[in-house]
Chains A and B, each alone.
Chain A
Amino acid sequence: MTMSVSLLATAVVLCAVGGILMLTRPLTRILLGAVIAGNGINLLVLSSTGSAGAAPLLYGVPLRRVTDPLPQAIALTAIVITLATTAFLLAMAYRSYQLTGTDEVHDDLEDRRIFLRAEVLGERAELREEYRAEPGRTRRERARYRQERHRLRARLRADRALQARGRDAGGDLWHDVLGADPEDYVNDTHDDRGAAG
């Protein structure tokens, strides 16, 4: 089977461009990437025809020299499907923009919590190490250290409260209706950071 190299090269380039675009965050870029990569793959499907032949039905071309119509049918189907998906993605990007002001795909909430927790714990370990490494401690330094630790603990606790709130059926139900959940907010000022997620 002979194949047009230019068709293949175009397909590869399109897939590469689309692939890179699909790895980005904003939904519109992902959409563009999907469209471009989709076109590349359609070309790939077309190139599976082999060497191009004559059009069927017209001019009484012998059957052996007719182009294989099946890849074209597959490509057409794929184009229609890409159209539907593109329309849906566009709607979703716009809805995301309406809701959050940006069309970026946000991280999984739990991922973010795990990340925050790891960050806080790391910071605390660093602080402790720094404190222990210093030989002489003045009263002031000790107070500063204690204050830092309190700050970190407050962050963790706020995060835990956020987590508990996020898990409720209504999302921000506790925060919106009760203001704060008494169980999680004992000895702690309410920290609203990240509540939008």
Chain B
Amino acid sequence: MNALVPLPVLLPLCATGVSLAFGVRLARFQRFISVAVLTAVLALSVTLMIAADRQGPLSVHLGDFAPPLGITLVADRLSGLMLTVSSAVTLSVLVYSLGQGMADRDKETPVAVFHPAYLILVAGVSLTFIAGDLVNLYVGFEIMLVASFVLLTLGGTGPRIRAGSTYVIISLFSSMLFLTAIAMTYAATGTANFAQLALRLPDLPLGVQTLVQAMLLTVFAIKAAVFPLAAWLPDSYPTAPAPVTAVFAGLLTKVGIYCMLRTETLLFPGNRLGDLLMAVALASMIVGILGAVAQTDLKRLFSFTLVSHIGYMVFGIGLATREAYGGAIFYVAHHITVQTSLFLVAGLIERRGGTNELTRLGGLARSAPLLAVLFFVPAMNFAGIPPLSGFIGKLGLMRAGVSDGSVWAWILVAGATVTSLLTLYVMAKIWNLAFWRTEPPGQAAYGTVLETADDSDDDEGPGPDRVPGTGDEGVGPAPAGRTVAATLQGQAVTTTVRPPRAMTAATAGAVVLGLAFTVLAGPLTAFTDRSAAELISRRPYVEEVLGP
């Protein structure tokens, strides 16, 4: 069973090679490889999660070096859960992007680059989840980051390059800080292995420990977009293609949260910076959600809610009790799926309405009832309406806060409640503006605009999605089931009345996954509780790596 641990990294990496080698000629083969590999990774992750739950952490020492020397990969309950959720989400986003790529006639998503970059991203994310030492965590981060640079600037259009610069520079800075922190840790302890660090760090002077902890926390907080270090996120995420934004929002920030959880529990138990964490958690929640209230651009708005809800998880980490860790882990799993499905829905709305701007949207509940349902369920889930998993996650965290009983905990509980209400307000605003009200007069003009542009621009003959016989109807909204694509100064503009089935199905899959957390809340909270207990006791992890 232990031999399976490296596979979630190895499979996508090998597939990247194959994909690059054959991708240019055989686009269909490339798609097949990506889907097959990600499905395999999902199956592997589920296996690993169940195995780690039954037998305790699984570890692999690559090259068969004795534990503290070589590269150690460890999968415990937390890693297993993160791997499972992340691979489920990446698979659904991949299906979505396939649907979009086919509909867009590959103008926005150059196939040859997209698939390898996406697979490398998956490999990097998996590596950070199973890395057993700081250096491999760093390498996993970098693999993930380089892939994300490519994905974020896909197509190389002006806005994407501009947004990409911010992202790349911030990421560069945080990796430098990370490397410095690793150097300092190594100089102080002579090891980078988590298990060994857990044994050696307590012998260091308190000042050095706090310094290393603060540096690592800063690095992970930049990645996780915790408030004072979150300004880059709403600026850089929304310009990317919808599936890319979805997977970034769902996964990359949560990788930061995972690293925080791992280092805070394993390396720095005792919660010395708990108050600081709670303060930034409160600031992220409030500032993030206020930013979202002020926005009318859908993707930007969701980016702000993303920052805001990171605060909940940091709250759990700051409390540092078993209940709180359990709540935070549950919330991470819930948040990954819900945030991803919201961004996927935003992509569908953009396709259907031609814009992400709420003031221009309207009447979608009547014209696209399925889309309305697909938005409504995750939105209510996100806001924390009772039967859904968002409520369970928030309840778990707040209960942990109340039972902790300190002043900060109470303030945070109040802040979390306010944030939750404001989230509900924001979601209701989107619902009212985009779905509930009647169509604004500007919307019908979209068909006209695109039709004209399409006719003047189209030099390749009818595209694959064109229905013959409806091509020359002149002005008026596009007929049902038809895709209209045009290019304006290098920017592809697409609107369809009915989005491709793969996109809707993938979104529905993500939404259903979010609902599954509600249905399976009992076993899942039990699982997160066990994994929190495992994190706090630290012994299973250390003994698995170093031997009893």
In whole angstroms, how far apart are the Cα atoms of A110 and B488 in the complex? 23
Dominant SS among interface residues on chain A? helix
Contact bitstring A162-180, B, C-beta under 8 A = 1, else 0? 0010011111110011100
Contact size class for B?
Answer: 35 or more
Contacts of B359 in A (CB 8 A): 164
For B135, what are the chain A residues with a Cβ–Cβ distance below 8 Å?
73-74, 77
Those of B131-184 within 8 Å (CB) of chain A: 135, 138-139, 142, 146, 149-150, 153, 156-159, 161-162, 164-166, 168-169, 172-173, 175-176, 179-180, 182-184
Chain B residues positioned under 8 Å from A96 (CB to CB): 161-162, 165
Which of these, B142, B186, B354, B453, contacts A81 with CB under 8 Å? Answer: B142
Main secondary structure of the interface of B (DSSP, over half): helix
Smallest CB separation, A62 vs chain B (Å): 18
Q: Which residue of chain B is the closest to A71 with respect to CB atoms?
A: B186
Q: For chain B residues 229-253, which have a beta carbon within 8 Å of chain A?
A: 235
Stretch at the interface among A41-49, A121-129, A137-145, A185-193: A41-49
A70–B196 CA distance with the chains assembled, in angstroms: 15
* Count of inter-chain pairs, beta carbons less than 8 A: 128
Q: Is A158 an interface residue (CB 8 A)?
A: no
Contacts of A183 in B (CB 8 A): 442
Bound-state Cα–Cα, A37 to B138, Å: 17
A167 touches B355 (CB 8 A): yes
Residue of A nearest to B158 (CB): A99
Tell whether, in the assembled complex, residue A77 and residue B139 are in contact, meaning their CB atoms are under 8 Å apart.
yes
Knowing A22-B169, A176-B488, say if A167 contacts B442 (CB, 8 Å): no
Q: Which residues from chain A contact B180 at a C-beta distance below 8 Å?
A: 41, 44
Instruction: Report the bound CA distance from A37 to B175 in whole Å.
Output: 11
Whether A100 and B158, one on each chain, are in contact in the complex, defined by CB atoms closer than 8 angstroms, is yes
Question: CB within 8 A of A34: which of B138, B172, B179, B356?
Answer: B172
Report whether A81 and B175 are in contact in the complex, using a CB–CB cutoff of 8 Å. Answer: yes
Known: A22-B169, A74-B182, A167-B356. 9 other contacts (CB 8 A): A74-B135, A84-B142, A88-B146, A96-B161, A105-B165, A164-B359, A167-B357, A168-B360, A173-B488
A-B contact pairs, 9 of them (CB 8 A): A30-B169, A45-B183, A70-B186, A92-B153, A168-B354, A169-B354, A171-B159, A171-B488, A173-B449
Interface residues in chain B, defined as those with a beta carbon under 8 Å from any beta carbon in chain A: 135, 138-139, 142, 146, 149-150, 153, 156-159, 161-162, 164-166, 168-169, 172-173, 175-176, 179-180, 182-184, 186-187, 190, 192, 235, 296-297, 300, 350, 354-357, 359-360, 442, 445, 449, 452-453, 488-489, 491, 493, 495
